[in-house]
Amino acid sequence: MSERKRAEADVKGVTERDFNVWKHHPVTKLFKEFLVDYRGALITRIVEQWESGALKLTDELEARGRVRAVQEMIDLEFGHIASMYGIEGTSNADEENRSS
C-alpha cells in the first residue's frame, strides 16, 4: 500500500492520525495512567491473597484474565483496531505483522 493510501486509511471514520492525536490528549493520558495503576493494584491484591494463603484458584484465574485484558488496553494501537475490522496496511498493523 502506498504511503498516501496508508495515511488515508481509516476505521469507521477515524484515521491513524486521529488516533494518535487522541492518544496524546490529557484525558487519554490520565486514563492510560489509571489502567497502569489499576493493573498494579490487581497484581498487588492477588499477591497479598497468595501470601496470606487465602488465594482461591477461581480468584487467581479471574485476576489473571483482568490483568491481561487491562494490558491489552494499555498497549492498544491503531493497527490493532484496524486489524480487528479487517483493514490492513496501517503502519501499526504492518509493524505487528513484522514482529509476528
Return the pLDDT at 9. 78
Sign of CA dihedral 65, 27, 34, 76: positive
Q: What is the pLDDT of residues 36-86, one digit of tens each?
A: 999 999 999 999 999 999 999 999 999 999 999 999 999 999 999 999 999
Rounded to 10 degrees, the C-alpha dihedral 91/93/98/100 comes to 160
**Cα–chain center distance at 44:** 21
Question: What cell numbers appear for 63 in the block?
Answer: 485476576
Pick 99 or 62 by higher pLDDT: 62
Nearest residue to 72 (alpha-carbon basis) of 36, 42, 47: 36
pLDDT at res. 8: 61
Q: What are the structural domain ranges in the chain? A: 14-99
* Statement: residue 97 has pLDDT above 50: no
- Write the CB contacts of 22 (distance below 8 Å, at least 6 apart in sequence): 28
